[in-house]
């Protein structure tokens, strides 16, 4: 559906065969439907907003797609969607039963002036039938969770303006990076064998060095500087406590560091990616190193981090000296 647009709208068990090789064979093409390219992008956006419980963005998307009139007040719809829809990635199978979700959405659609196009109705019916079939095979299947690696991969690697805008909206809020969402996307996308890490890097890098990315780039530089400063403070504190107690830092000491855990989470998601190939990453690394914008950003970060690191070292040195009986009185 999301790759080609064309889909079987009535995939019940009587219209499917399973081959010994594990392939699905579709029968009876009397009920088919088609999703235009811009509509496919909107479906991907909708799933991402649903997963992240960003119902304001979901309501805006419905309006953009023409499901509701442009002059409709969105706030009541946003609140109704929030009440109707569960946490799709972590919900139990019972809470995430697509039939229940569709019924809840139906209440919202009837309560407000929604006008659903034929392809969307066919899509909802198709997913409902497929989920019923899947639950017969595996009672614990969660259809949105199963599809999310594909959604994440498309969002991170597709070069379409619509999905680039959706990715920027997801990863940056008020021009501040949301590392947890990037980590979640990379982690889920890495479950797919066709996911290409270098494409993700190229895409994000192109945006950050563009004129549209100036404000976010400047905010990202501040975030990196502050994050490095915070990380340095946490690591210094860990080693100070270890010296004071005459022992080496333990794994539990480092687990207590919020910054170290955040960095480790993103790094683990990237490192575990099946598509991590240094032969494909190397050209991007060379490009980043040679680009004037990124080089200047690197210089700015290095200068600020060095200055703050030296300042922290001096502060801590005097603090340690003042604890000694023979320390000079400054």
d(Cα 109, Cα 130) in Å, to the nearest integer? Answer: 22
Residue 10 a catalytic site member? yes
Phi, psi (degrees; rounded to nearest 5) at 156: -80, -25
Catalytic residue among 3, 10, 95, 277: 10
Alpha helices in the chain (DSSP H): 37-51, 55-64, 74-84, 98-111, 118-137, 143-157, 161-171, 179-189, 197-209, 214-244, 251-255, 258-271, 278-290, 292-321
Q: Give me 82's structure tokens.
A: 């929030």
Contact (CB, 8 A) for 158 and 199: no
Question: Sign of torsion, CA 65 67 70 75?
Answer: negative
Q: Give me 329's structure tokens.
A: 């009185």
> What is each CA distance from 11 to 14, 27, 198, in whole angstroms?
8, 8, 36
Residue with tokens 């990635």: 89
Residues marked active site are found at 10
């Amino acid at each position: 559906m999301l790759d080609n647009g064309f889909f079987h709208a009535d995939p019940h068990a009587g219209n499917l065969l399973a081959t010994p090789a594990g392939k699905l064979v579709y029968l009876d093409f009397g009920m088919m439907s088609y999703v235009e390219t811009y509509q496919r992008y909107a479906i991907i956006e909708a799933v991402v907003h649903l997963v992240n419980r960003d119902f304001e963005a979901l309501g805006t998307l419905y309006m953009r797609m023409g499901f509701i009139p442009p002059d409709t007040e969105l706030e009541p719809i946003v609140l109704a969607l929030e009440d109707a829809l569960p946490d799709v990635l972590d919900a139990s199978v019972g809470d995430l039963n697509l039939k229940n979700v569709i019924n809840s959405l139906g209440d919202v659609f009837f309560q407000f002036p929604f006008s659903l196009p034929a392809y969307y109705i066919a899509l909802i019916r198709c997913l409902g039938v497929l989920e019923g079939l899947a639950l017969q095979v595996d009672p614990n299947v969660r259809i949105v969770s199963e599809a999310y690696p594909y959604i994440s991969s498309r969002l991170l690697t597709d070069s379409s303006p619509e999905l680039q805008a959706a990715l920027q909206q997801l990863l940056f809020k008020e021009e501040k990076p949301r590392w947890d969402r990037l980590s979640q996307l990379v982690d889920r996308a890495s479950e797919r064998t066709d996911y290409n890490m270098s494409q993700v890097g190229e895409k994000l890098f192109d945006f950050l060095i563009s004129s549209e990315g100036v404000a976010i780039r400047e905010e990202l530089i501040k975030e990196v500087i502050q994050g490095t400063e915070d990380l340095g403070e946490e690591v210094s504190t860990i080693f100070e406590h270890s010296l004071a107690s005459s022992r080496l830092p333990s794994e539990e000491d480092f687990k207590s560091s919020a910054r170290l855990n955040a960095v480790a989470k993103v790094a683990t998601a990237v490192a575990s990616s099946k598509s991590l190939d240094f032969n494909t990453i190397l050209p991007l690394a060379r490009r980043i190193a040679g680009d004037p914008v990124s080089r200047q950003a690197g210089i700015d970060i290095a200068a600020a981090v060095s200055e703050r690191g030296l300042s922290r070292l001096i502060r801590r040195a005097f603090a340690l000296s003042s604890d000694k009986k023979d320390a000079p009185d400054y």
